[in-house]
């Protein structure tokens, strides 16, 4: 599992802590669940009493505005945790969690997690850093919405995607399981048409190539230079 997948938290083997084989009786196979593509893990107003660790697959976290518009807050992949607000007093879900591909998760109740934290001090540090990272990420997105134009927000998101999930291949960077243009639009508060236009411009400039399965950044520095 890539260290980058766990919110960039070094020296905390969260996958090992959640792993049934390492945890013995504390975490069993009954905690592991397969979520099919397009299946909701939870919906707004459902009881908030469980924390989820993604073993494989991807989960979209989002909400619906009063006018019915969908707001995508994050797309999480293997090694990441969601539903953690159950640990700090959330009683009802405010967001939804949707599997955007077949996904395996480890599900732990908030009471079980509290017991795990007692036995594994590193978990407390993990949750503090994870929540802090999410706050910083949301603040950065807010600043981007206020101070940057649509094109820059899209390019900035691509650069961030490389930082979080990119794998270096020679002088290039590859992000596998590239998300749809509509999801990028939802994450950057732009339109699908604008995303498609920007991606095509970057491809014509030979900065990136892409298809439904992957994003290949041919020159990361040039990509960053496109952020105004």
Say what the pTM is.
Answer: 0.76
Over its C-alpha atoms, the chain yields an Rg (Å, rounded) of 18
**Weakest-pLDDT range from 31-45, 120-134, 172-186:** 120-134
Instruction: Using a pLDDT cut of 70, give the percent of the chain over it.
Output: 87
Q: What is the pLDDT of residues 46-79, one digit of tens each?
A: 999 999 989 899 999 999 888 778 888 899 988 8
Question: Is the Cα dihedral 173, 177, 181, 182 positive or negative?
Answer: negative
User: Where exactly are the structural domains of the chain?
Assistant: 3-137, 148-225
Class of domain 3-137: mainly beta
Angle between the 192-204 and 181-188 helix axes, to the nearest 10 degrees? 110
What average pLDDT does the segment 120-137 reach?
A: 79
Domains 3-137 and 148-225 share a fold: no
Q: What CATH number has the domain spanning 148-225? A: 1.10.10.10
């Amino acid at each position: 599992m890539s260290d980058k997948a766990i919110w960039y938290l070094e020296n905390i083997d969260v996958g090992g802590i959640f792993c049934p084989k390492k945890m013995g009786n504390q975490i069993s196979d009954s905690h592991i669940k397969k979520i099919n593509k397009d299946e909701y893990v939870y919906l707004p107003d459902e009881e908030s009493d469980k924390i989820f660790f993604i073993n494989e697959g991807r989960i979209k976290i989002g909400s619906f505005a009063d006018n019915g518009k969908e707001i995508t807050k994050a797309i999480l992949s293997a090694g990441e945790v969601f539903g953690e607000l159950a640990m700090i007093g959330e009683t009802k879900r405010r967001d939804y969690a949707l599997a955007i591909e077949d996904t395996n998760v480890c599900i732990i109740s908030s009471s079980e997690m509290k017991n795990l934290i007692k036995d594994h001090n590193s978990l407390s540090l993990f949750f503090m850093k994870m929540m802090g990272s999410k706050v910083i990420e949301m603040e950065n997105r807010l600043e981007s919405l206020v101070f940057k134009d649509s094109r820059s927000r899209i390019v900035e998101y691509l650069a961030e995607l490389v930082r979080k999930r990119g794998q270096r291949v020679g002088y290039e960077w590859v992000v596998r399981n590239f998300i749809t243009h509509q999801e990028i639009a939802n994450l950057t508060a732009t339109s699908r048409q604008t995303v498609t236009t920007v991606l095509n411009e970057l491809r014509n400039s030979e900065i990136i190539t892409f298809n439904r399965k992957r994003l290949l950044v041919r020159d990361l520095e040039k990509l960053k230079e496109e952020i105004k």
